[in-house]
Amino acid sequence: MRVLMKVQIPVEAGNEGVKSGVLPQTIREFADAAKPEAMYFTVADGMRTMFAVIDMATTADMPRLGEPLFLKLNASIEATPCMNAQELAAGLQAITTG
């Protein structure tokens, strides 16, 4: 299932992570593990924020992908199912034909 992950890192934890190198290393490890379709970085709510679109094969992937972000960066995470335009079209087509 395609999932939009919003990861926010508190300022103090992010500052320490930048200084120690843990932040970029943890983001690289997340990218290697999650193989995201897309990753974007911004500031939201005054915190470093990452949005990643990933394919989550099973809910058992949630701890594997999320725990390192919680433990190493004190991150908060939201995971929301999402779809691309083709999936939306297929879903809407199913409603009208079926």
Cα distances (Å, whole numbers) of residue 48 to 28, 34, 41, 93: 15, 19, 7, 38
**Rounded CA gap, 34 and 52, in Å?**
9
pLDDT digits (tens, 9 = 90+) for 39-80: 999 999 999 999 999 999 999 999 999 999 999 999 999 999
98 confidence band (pLDDT: 50, 70, 90)? low
Residue 96, pLDDT score: 85
23 pLDDT more than 80: yes
Residues 49, 42 contacting (CB under 8 angstroms)? yes
The pTM of this model reads 0.91
User: Which position has the token pair 């999650």?
Assistant: 34
In the chain, % of residues over pLDDT 70: 99
Statement: 2-97 belongs to CATH 3.30.70.1060: yes
Amino acid at 83: M
Query: What residue spans define the domains of the chain?
Result: 2-97
